[in-house]
Chain A
Amino acid sequence: MEEYKVLIVEDSPTMRQLIAFSLKRLKNIKIVEASDGVDGLKKLSQDAFNLIITDINMPVMDGLKLVSLIRKDAVYKTVPIFIITTEGGQEDRERAMALGANAYITKPISGPQVLEMVKNYLNIK
């Protein structure tokens, strides 16, 4: 069975745990956590990921900067990126999508909703 690797970049440990908890309902999934954009880049350089979930407002490096850097990397040009954020404005959404995000989810999140989206993007039935 194929193993899917998901990177969660989020400064809030509660949110990281919550997202990881929702995704762990999938059997063949490995979750790696990072606490900010720089930590996320470090984890990306150490392993190959099938999907990236990131917050926007984070210390050291924010999520939007992280998305733009990821998209410049040929390896991660097509890997799905989900943004999970408190920023609910249309401009924020458009900016994130223009930088190369695949989905924009606003907080508070629904675990089943995130799970369904991940399943769709990874083609898990």
Chain B
Amino acid sequence: MSRGGHKTSPLYVFLDIAIRDDKISCLDIFRAIAYHFIKSEVYQMEKKEEKERNIFERAEEFLQVFKKGAEFTQELLKTNEQLRYRILQLEEESRSLKTNPASPDKQYEELAKQIEALKVEREEVDHRIKEIESENKDFAIRYVEVEEENNNLANLYIASYQLHSTLDFKEVLQIILEIIINLIGAEEFGIFLLDEKTHELKIMASEGIDETQVPSINMGVGTIGRVAKNGEPYFMEDMSDPSKIDWMNPMVAIPLKIKEHVIGVIVIYRLLQQKKNFTPLDHELFTLLAGHAATAIFSSKLYSESERKLSTIQGFIDLLTK
């Protein structure tokens, strides 16, 4: 407060009046002074309170700032930790690069080498696959061949079983006819047997042909006669259906042989409509069948003759004993 301010304050004005006016008592003056001091004290206290309030507010503000500072510090510490970890990683990478000094070029070269090696391996695998495929194809072809052979062996087994299942001459001839129709696939054919006395080949059984029209054939005459003489089978090269049958020149003529002794000839004049030709396996099968047929014919003939002889002898014995 300025000096001029004191002169204008209510206490100064009252004291100035009291000095000049003797009607104002000392008590009033004292009261006035006391009031002034109390008022002044209250004012001072209010000021102090305000000051303290200001300090508190500032302290609050400071606390807030301090809290923010603490948070910021925490964040800084966190970032610092992350950076330290990254530094460690980089140091590790740096160390590994120092211990393994392969440059990207070298790595590229190594990868290129690996690719080349894999390419070579792939080529080898491709080559092996091709080989296996080829082997498989061979196996498939072989399988078909084996199946065919198996089929022919089954035919042969059944035919020989049937041929040797009887000793009746006529029955044997019937079985031979059946085999030639069903297994060989012939439509018109005959079985010629050699007459040992006349040395002529005579037809004994047939299928699809009129036997009365077929002449007896001398050994060495025509295809049938030559086959009987030489003992070698004959297969016509072109087996396409002949328009007219030539009794002397058939499509196929197979000798019926026991060892080297020819007992007859199987002659085929025409194959079944669906059988166009003879395969090498057919040749083999037919030749083998002819061997079995010859044995069956010979055995049954011998048996029939022995039966006949036995019956004649039995007749004589009966005559003598009765």
Q: Residues of A at under 8 Å CB distance from B?
A: 12-15, 17-18, 21-22, 86, 88-89, 106-112
Which one of A13, A17, A22, A107 lies within 8 Å of B181 (CB-CB)?
A107
Query: How many residues in B have their beta carbons less than 8 Å from beta carbons of A?
Result: 24
Scoring B residues 29 to 52 as 1 if CB is less than 8 Å from chain A, else 0, what string do you get? 000000000000000000000000
User: Could you show 20 A-B contacts with beta carbons less than 8 Å apart?
Assistant: A12-B181, A14-B162, A14-B175, A14-B183, A18-B154, A18-B158, A21-B154, A22-B151, A86-B272, A88-B273, A107-B181, A107-B182, A107-B272, A108-B184, A108-B185, A108-B275, A110-B148, A111-B154, A111-B155, A112-B148
Given contacts A17-B158, A108-B182, 4 further A-B contacts (CB under 8 A): A17-B161, A21-B154, A108-B185, A111-B150
Which one of A14, A22, A88, A106 lies within 8 Å of B178 (CB-CB)?
A14
Scoring B residues 143 to 182 as 1 if CB is less than 8 Å from chain A, else 0, what string do you get? 0000110110011011101100000000000010011011
Which one of A18, A88, A89, A111 lies within 8 Å of B182 (CB-CB)?
A18
Residues of B within 8 A of A111 (CB): 150-151, 154-155
Q: Residues of B at under 8 Å CB distance from A?
A: 147-148, 150-151, 154-155, 157-159, 161-162, 175, 178-179, 181-185, 187, 272-275
What is the bound-complex CA distance between A110 and B152, given in angstroms?
Answer: 9
User: With A86-B181, A108-B183, A111-B154 in contact, is A13–B272 under 8 Å at CB?
Assistant: no
What is the bound-complex CA distance between A88 and B183, given in angstroms?
Answer: 15
Q: Say whether A110 contacts B151, CB under 8 Å.
A: yes
Q: Which 3 A-B pairs rank lowest in CB-CB distance, beginning with the nearest?
A: A88-B274, A88-B273, A108-B185
Q: Say whether B147 contacts A112, CB under 8 Å.
A: yes
Interchain nearest-CB distance for B293 vs A (Å): 12
Residues of B within 8 A of A18 (CB): 154-155, 158, 182-183
